[in-house]
Structure formats: structure tokens, C-alpha cells
A = this chain, B = another copy of it.
Amino acid sequence: MAAQTAGSPVRLAAETWESLFRAQVAVMRKLQAAPAFKTLPLNEYDVLFTLSRCPSGWLRQNELNDHILLSQSSLSRLVERLEKRGLVERKPVPEDGRGVQIKLTEAGWELQRQIGREHVRDIVTLVGPALTAAEQQELLRLTEKLRASVTAR
């Protein structure tokens, strides 16, 4: 008999992931087209955003790397670019001589807020009409659960 029928767990997991991935592509494609991202690529904005959410202000580069789909070397150079533009500040970690910690400058905060406002508007106009509030809640819960599980291992 067939090892994988239409309703099998294998197929379900595969289709779920593909659907999630395609939805992400579709939304991302629209979001990237926003005029704000001509100034600052979305990857770089994402770093500013992540830093803006960090309570202590400082974040280590390897921690940043977990949030972002970039190789270690690419992130290193991305941060270098941000530093050259005066958007972030780098400093060696006192208690770990190998590490580097990063913080937003005032200009970095400013630009993050500016782009962020427009970005959020775009998100709302895309996601808002697509799903009810309850559905968004549920999607938020499920993706958070998925992320937590995947990160754990």
C-alpha cells in the first residue's frame, strides 16, 4: 500500500510548511516594494528593528544572527555598513573578548521609527483585510509555537 496517502501526517506537515512559506513570499514581496526600502534594504531595517526591541539597548552580533536569515559573514558586513552610515554603534563585549555588541545611535532610532511607521501601515493593509482578528490571534499563536519548537532543538 501507499506509504503516504493524501491525509497522511507527512503530507500535512509538508503542505503546511509550503503554505506558510508561500504566504511569507507573497506578503514579503509586497512589503519590500514600499518606497521606504529604497533608502534602507529590508534586511538592514530588520536589524534596526530588532535592536529597537532590545531592552538593554545592546545586542550581541551572534544573537542578532539568530533572528535574521543571513550567514554570519554577511551579517558582519551588514552591521559594518550600518555603522558606516552612523545608524549603529559597535563596542567590544567587556566579559567576552571575542564578542561585539551593537546599539542603535540616535540617527538609527530615528530612521527605524520613521520607516517602521510606514512599514506597519503596509502590514496592516495587507494582513488586516485578509484575516479576522480571531484568525490573526490564532495565526500568531501557531507561528509562535512553531518558532519556539524549532528554535528549541
> For the complex, what is the distance from the CA of A26 to the CA of B20, rounded to whole Å?
12
Q: Does A5 lie at the interface of the complex (its beta carbon under 8 Å from any beta carbon of B)?
A: no
> For the complex, what is the distance from the CA of A128 to the CA of B146, rounded to whole Å?
10
Please, which residue of chain B has its CB at the minimum distance from the CB of A137?
B12
Counting chain A residues whose Cβ lies within 8 A of the other chain, the interface size class is: 35 or more
Residue contact A30 to B128, C-beta cutoff 8 Å: no
> For the complex, what is the distance from the CA of A39 to the CA of B12, rounded to whole Å?
27
Residue contact B150 to A17, C-beta cutoff 8 Å: no
Q: Does A22 lie at the interface of the complex (its beta carbon under 8 Å from any beta carbon of B)?
A: yes
Residue contact A140 to B16, C-beta cutoff 8 Å: yes
Interface string of A55-74 (1 = CB under 8 A from B): 00000000000011100000
Q: Does A138 lie at the interface of the complex (its beta carbon under 8 Å from any beta carbon of B)?
A: yes
Q: In chain A, residues 98-153, which have Cβ atoms closer than 8 Å to a Cβ of chain B?
A: 120, 123-124, 126-131, 133, 135-140, 142-147, 149-151
Residue contact B145 to A67, C-beta cutoff 8 Å: no
Q: What are 20 A-B pairs with beta-carbon distances under 8 A?
A: A9-B124, A10-B120, A10-B124, A13-B128, A13-B136, A14-B123, A16-B136, A16-B140, A17-B27, A17-B126, A19-B139, A19-B147, A21-B28, A24-B24, A25-B68, A26-B151, A27-B146, A28-B69, A130-B150, A135-B142
What are the nearest 4 A-B pairs in CB distance? A130-B149, A23-B143, A23-B147, A13-B127
